[in-house]
Amino acid sequence: MTISPLAYYSRHEVQREMADFLRGRWAAVEGPGKKWARWLGPRPLVVREPRDVLEIVRRFQSIGARSFYGTIEVYRRLEARSDVEEGYEENVAYATPFIDVDIIDEQRIGDAWRCVVEIARMIYEQLCREHGVCSSVYMLWSGAGMHIRIHERAFRDILGEAHPLDVAFAAAELVLEELEPEILRAVHGCGGLVKVENLVAAKRVFTAPLSLHRRLDRVAVALSPKELDSFNPDWSLPARPHHNPDAWRSYVEGEADDYAREALRRIGKVKKRALMEARAAKIGLPSMLEAAIPAAAAAPTAPGEPREPGRFPVMALLQAARYYLLTGDLEKAKSWGLNRAIFYAWAKYYGPARRPRLAAEARRYSTRAATVPEDELRWEEVGGEKAQVSSRGWYVIGGVEQRPEDFDRHVARKFEEAGIGFQEAWRAALEYLKQFPRSVLRDPQRFYREVYEPVRDRFIEKVLRRAKEQPKTTGLDRWLKRKE
């Protein structure tokens, strides 16, 4: 029987715990079908007092408000839109590093949860034994996966040297970089049922303790590293959740400063916030579920007002559409689109001096761990740009293949998560590119300057909406002939 959110959030102990955690964070609620609310009129949605929890559920009954989230950032003030938009950088006091160990198929929780615990323990032990961050780490079981979080107040002096978001990103990234081979072996060992990701990014939200799961009749419970050995998924049953309220409150101020300095030295700062997701580590294998269902089809579109998907997905989409219009090969278009997006992101933000990082950047977008040997590669030119091609026909950068399924996971899914159906985005991109002569599509400099730059931050307005307003074209073949 499905639990009633109104009845569940009427519990005073639930309200108190969630209010304590969400205070200072920009809150969000989600209902069935990925219906979200993050604003209360012109102001960011906030939870300041326990009673606010139930009031928000009542206010947003129209979307079936069920799950509560808060930003990884703790803000100095949350009174106006400007506090989280143009005033964002100066308004962030802290940011919580977190790593997501997610079970890909919620029907396989019983088969995969021990693997999740193993990986969580591995990450904690690396943080504690190698870096001395022992007392400020906690876990949160969401109902179908687990977060490993470092308490934001474990960072003190370092926040006078770097922005909290840069600190959080580097802190999450370094431990995954150090443990990648071990984590990958663990993922292999459980048949690829889990994936591990650094999800730190600007304004990212994560689950609040004791929140209901978005789909399952489970609640999020916090636990300390010492409780991993005794953990069982039944701890998240909503009737009597086994939740440790001290776990997420425990920290030693400044304990993680030295680790953060080392992480920033080795990982570096992300020059553009939009590039954080592009750089973040993603460790996993193609599961049977993901192989059978493309990410674009599997991820439901969030109804309501869509948001900009970001520069990286827009570049990848437009490059894929460009390739498709020039060659007619859809699968290779996906490979090309992801390949070029990685190349331009690396070239712009790192440049030739950071060439050794290119392979690492490319691996973040591939579920194929092996590097393609140099003697199996050939060069191919498309539209004035050269790229390496593997013997299987996929484009390669940094020795790593970019396959269609990688595009689905890292590009198509980003549009879906932004509330834009990928098929709709794909059709709109094709319509947009058809406005340009083939000479522009064949020239990489003109393509970047005339096609990509004008829409990279305004995809919804300049591509998606205009495509809806324009009459449908009568066919690709006629367009190709007309533009010759």
pLDDT band at 354 (very low <50, low <70, confident <90, very high): very low
**pLDDT level of residue 473 (50, 70, 90 thresholds):** very low
Beta strands 395-397 and 400-402 are antiparallel
Return the H-helix or E-strand segment holding 114. Answer: helix 109-125
Q: How large a percentage of the chain has pLDDT more than 90?
A: 68
Higher-confidence position of 167 and 298? 167
- Return the pLDDT at 353: 45
Higher pLDDT pick, 357 / 483: 357
Question: Backbone phi, then psi, for 259, in 5-degree steps?
Answer: -65, -40
Highest mean pLDDT among 166-175, 344-353, 388-397: 166-175
The predicted model gives 445-450 an average pLDDT of: 94
pLDDT at 286 over 70: no
Amino acid, res. 196? V
Handedness of CA 176, 179, 184, 189 (dihedral sign): negative
Cα(178)–Cα(182) distance, rounded to whole angstroms? 9
What local confidence, expressed as pLDDT, does residue 294 receive? 38
Q: Helix, strand or coil for residue 111?
A: helix
Q: What is the pLDDT of residue 470?
A: 67
Q: CATH 3.30.70.3300 region(s) of the chain?
A: 82-288
Higher pLDDT, 241 or 367: 241
Calpha distance 134→130 (Å, rounded): 10
Strands 73-75 and 137-141 turn out to be unpaired
* Structural contact between residues 274 and 176, judged by C-beta atoms closer than 8 angstroms: no
| Helix, coil or strand: residue 336 | helix
Q: Over range 225-238, report the average pLDDT.
A: 97
Quick one: pLDDT at residue 362? 56
Helices (H) and strands (E) in the chain, counts: 22, 18
CA distance 227 to 224: 5
Read off the pLDDT band of 241 (50, 70, 90).
very high
What's the mean pLDDT when you consider all of the chain? 87
Closest C-alpha among 146, 139, 96, 119 to residue 244: 139
Q: Is the pTM of this model over 0.85?
A: no
Of 367 and 229, more confident: 229
Among 215, 210, 214, which Cα is nearest to 236's? 210
Task: Name which of 82-86, 267-271, 315-319, 332-336 the model is least confident about.
Answer: 267-271
Q: pLDDT tens for residues 39-84?
A: 999 999 999 999 999 999 999 999 999 999 999 999 999 999 999 9
| CA–CA separation, 393 and 406 (whole Å) | 14
Q: Regarding predicted confidence, which is higher, 373 or 477?
A: 373
Please name the residue that has the structure tokens 């010759």.
Answer: 484
d(Cα 267, Cα 451) in Å, to the nearest integer?
32
- Cβ-contact 202, 89 below 8 angstroms: no
| pLDDT tier, 363 (very low <50, low <70, confident <90, very high otherwise) | low
**Highest mean pLDDT (candidates 9-13, 354-358, 398-402, 418-422):** 9-13
Over the stretch 153-186, which tens digit does the pLDDT of each residue have?
Answer: 999 999 999 999 999 999 999 999 999 999 999 9
| Confidence (pLDDT) at 369 | 46
From the CA atom positions of the chain, what is the Rg in Å?
Answer: 23
Classify 82-288 by CATH class: alpha beta
State phi, psi for 402 to the nearest 5 degrees. -110, 110
Greater model confidence, 473 or 419: 419
pLDDT computed for residue 360 by the predictor: 52
Across residues 2-11, what is the average pLDDT?
A: 94
Confidence of residue 349 (pLDDT cuts 50, 70, 90): low
pLDDT of residue 442: 92
Residue 379: strand pairing partners: 388
Of 283-287, 372-376, 460-464, which has the strongest mean pLDDT? Answer: 460-464
Asked if residue 481 has pLDDT above 60, the reply is: no
Return d(Cα 298, Cα 220) in angstroms, integer.
24
Question: Does residue 421 have a pLDDT over 80?
Answer: yes
How far is the C-alpha of 87 from the C-alpha of 372, rounded, in Å? Answer: 45
* pLDDT tier at 290, thresholds 50, 70, 90: very low
- Least confident range of 124-138, 191-205, 403-417: 403-417
pLDDT band at 366 (very low <50, low <70, confident <90, very high): low
User: What digits encode the pLDDT tens for the residues 100-126?
Assistant: 999 988 889 999 999 999 999 999 999
Q: What average pLDDT does range 115-143 have in this prediction?
A: 97
pLDDT of residue 474: 40
